[in-house]
A = this chain, B = another copy of it.
Amino acid sequence: MALISIIENFKPKNDEKLLRRAEQLRPVIYRKKVKPAGVFRLKDRYSREIVSIPGNTFQDIVLGKGDNICLDFGDHHVGRLFLELAGKGSHPDAPAFIKLKFAETLAELSENSMEYDGWVSSSWIQEEYIHADTLPAAVSPRRRYAFRYLKITVIDTSPKYKLTISDVFINTETSADDKAVLPAYKGDEELSAIYSMCQRTIRNCMQEVFEDGPKRDRRLWTGDLRLQALANYATYGNNDLVKRCLYLFAGSRFPDGKVAACVFTDPEPAADDTCIYDYMLFFAAALCEYFEETGDREALKDLYGIAQEQIDIALRTVDANGIVHGEELGTVFVDWSEGLHKDAAAQGILIYAVGYAVKLALHNGDRKRAEYLEKKNNLFRSAARKYFWDSDRACFVSGGQAALATQVWMVLAGCASGEEAAAIFERADDFSCECTMMTPYMHHYYIMALLSCGRKEQALGHIRWYWGSMVKAGFDTCPETWVPEDPSASPYGGTAVNSYCHAWSCTPVWILKKYF
């Protein structure tokens, strides 16, 4: 997730007790030394053409002015680079000036960051410029990077010497404990590959919080957390990390009580001045699932009120017709699809979240609240049928548009179910054409909608097609946005800032284990 919202003079409301608890839950970071698995180079600076250097290791390479060498660390990693450079030739008489480019994918390696001009900050592009005044030099950029490939370009040495690499490795970082990982899903080759890509993704996004992406934005988003937690339950089971994140969201909120879309953790925990309607509501879902996974009554007690408060805040935007107006609270996200009409989806998301609030109320022995919310939801479902169901087309229509995302949220809300819902998804391709879903996040909810109306085979087929196409495209981890027909799609005005390891995209680890 990346979204720009600006509220002048925003001051989050902090609860020091909750934030202290979050701090106590700060995870251990596991580190591992990883050496390059191969070397190659690009034909020239921004060329995509790879020149292989057969039989060579990085120690064999000698780099002069303008030369580049690319190291392949064999898989996607998050961590810090250690590089030892030496001079070859006469005694170095000038600094070595090098550029490091860290890339999650091969294509990224050859991108010219100067050309990126989108709305997300170009400062996320993973590059470093380094002078080594004395050689040999141990070079170790302070920043953590997410990458499989590293391109080292020598901007200059001097006519008297060239550079060699005497050592290079990544010290990887994650709060996922490889020793505690749950057994992998054993499917056929295709599903195993998908599972493995997804597990790698959640692992590398598990840092001091669940990061949306370790390349970009490196921070905690509510809606992402809900899916990250599911992926975690199926793999690394670091449930304290989920708890920590829930407490962070609860501990720093909007002055009016809303859970922010994102919480910053550095230098101090602080809610972002961004409210995403969907994300605010998913806090209840995330808490409910966390409790069901762990039975942690402390968390339920501490956070129950805040979860219900989010629902109440949303309920206040429901009009006399029973239709919610999420846009009054902040952005209604749903998906990065351009042109998606979101009214029906927003209604579906409310009903869906209220469903989790009901379950939470029951877990907390709050039967009255549960009944109250159930009643509300029945009204909202009727309103949804009245305003969004198109009986001629036998599907849901929002603003004249029958997008697949709209069907998904209406079905997940129970506005259609069983045969009726199944019939909708038989025609999924038609709706998809009307407005293409752009994110694996949205595709997750599509799978869940398919499963909810018994279309298990279609769900598995979709996992094979959608996540399988990521594997085929060579991803080690799941990209943030992915349209198989348009691999260079980016909601950010350029792929240079795309994140190729994004935890909202890796839920098949959970889906496969739970449903297949």
Contacts and interface: CB of A to CB of B under 8 A. Distances in A.
A425 to B, nearest CB: 37
How many copies make up the complex? 2
Nearest to A123: B97
A119 B6 CA distance: 50
Interface string A89-126: 11101111100000000000000000000011111100
B273 A90 contact: yes
Given A121-B95, A123-B97, A266 B134 contact: yes
Contact of A123 (B5, B121, B157): B157
B159 A267 contact: no
A6 B94 contact: no
Given A129-B128, A143-B133, A90 B121 contact: no
Nearest to A132: B123
Given A129-B129, A136-B267, A266-B133, A91 B272 contact: yes
Contacts of A134: 266-267
B264 A93 contact: yes
Contact of A96 (B7, B123, B133, B217): B123
Contacts of A6: 89-90, 159-160
B121 A157 contact: yes
A473 interface: no
Most chain B beta-carbon neighbours within 10 Å: one of A93, A94, A158? A93
Contacts of A7: 90
B155 A122 contact: yes
A155 B123 contact: yes
Contacts of A158: 4, 120-121, 123
Nearest to A136: B267
A476 interface: no
B119 A95 contact: no
A270 interface: yes
A435 to B, nearest CB: 26
A263 to B, nearest CB: 10
B95 A123 contact: yes
A515 interface: no
A30 interface: no
Interface string A39-70: 00000000000000000000000000000000
A131 interface: yes
A119 to B, nearest CB: 7
A69 B253 CA distance: 36
A10 interface: yes
A90 B123 contact: no
Contacts of A4: 158-160
Given A133-B143, A266-B133, A267-B136, A156 B123 contact: yes
Nearest to A141: B131
Contacts of A119: 159
Nearest to A98: B123
Interface string A415-431: 00000000000000000
A7 to B, nearest CB: 7
Contacts of A272: 90-91, 93
Nearest to A497: B94
A10 B96 contact: no
Interface string A258-270: 0000101011001
A273 B92 CA distance: 11
Contact of A91 (B120, B128, B143, B264): B264
* A-B interface, 3 closest residue pairs, ranked by CB to CB distance from nearest: A94-B121, A97-B123, A121-B158
Given A96-B123, A122-B156, A133-B218, 10 more contacts: A5-B90, A93-B262, A93-B264, A94-B121, A97-B122, A121-B159, A123-B131, A127-B129, A131-B143, A133-B266
13 contacts: A6-B90, A91-B264, A91-B270, A93-B262, A94-B124, A96-B123, A121-B158, A123-B156, A127-B129, A131-B143, A133-B143, A134-B266, A134-B267
